[in-house]
Amino acid sequence: MIVQSTKPYLIRSIYEWCIDSGLTPYLSVRSSDKLNLPKEYIKNGEIIFNVSAHAIQDLVIANNEISFMARFGGVSRKIEIPIILVQSIFAKEINQGIAFTLNNKMIDYKHNEIKEGIGEVDDASKAKESSKSKKPGLRIIK
């Protein structure tokens, strides 16, 4: 059985929470030379997009990628972002949302493709292994 990544589901849920709450959803993405991103807006290897309905069109948050149409400097562009490169999604007004840990091993730039690995599963299995090594303990709290 193949377990799907929870990342796209979490992104969709935070996006919907922002919209339902009247907040502006922002998406932080790690930049890559392989992506068609507006280079003039990339800072420190990151680009942040306003993904609210009034800022973009045709938003699709699929399990493998996020795509939308946006205007940069008056020029309309189609943006396609692999889910693996999403660093966080948050509400601009209150800076609340969710951040993801990116694992460099999951991103393969040498073969001109971006592959999603099992980094989230690896982290979970490590946590399970460390919890197995500890003896369970109960405390009585009065």
Which pLDDT score is estimated for 33?
86
| Right CATH for 7-101 from 2.160.10.10, 2.30.30.220, 3.10.20.30, 3.90.1300.10 | 2.30.30.220
pTM of the predicted protein model: 0.73
Which pLDDT score is estimated for 135?
56
The pLDDT-based confidence of 140 (bands split at 50, 70, 90) is low
Strands of the sheet with 86-91, listed across from one edge? 46-50, 25-30, 86-91, 96-99
Domain boundaries, the chain: 7-101
- Cα(109)–Cα(111) distance, rounded to whole angstroms? 6
What percentage of the chain reaches a pLDDT higher than 90? 62
The pLDDT-based confidence of 104 (bands split at 50, 70, 90) is low
The arithmetic mean of pLDDT across residues 46-75, rounded, is: 95
- Cα(107)–Cα(102) distance, rounded to whole angstroms? 9
- Cα(130)–Cα(123) distance, rounded to whole angstroms? 11
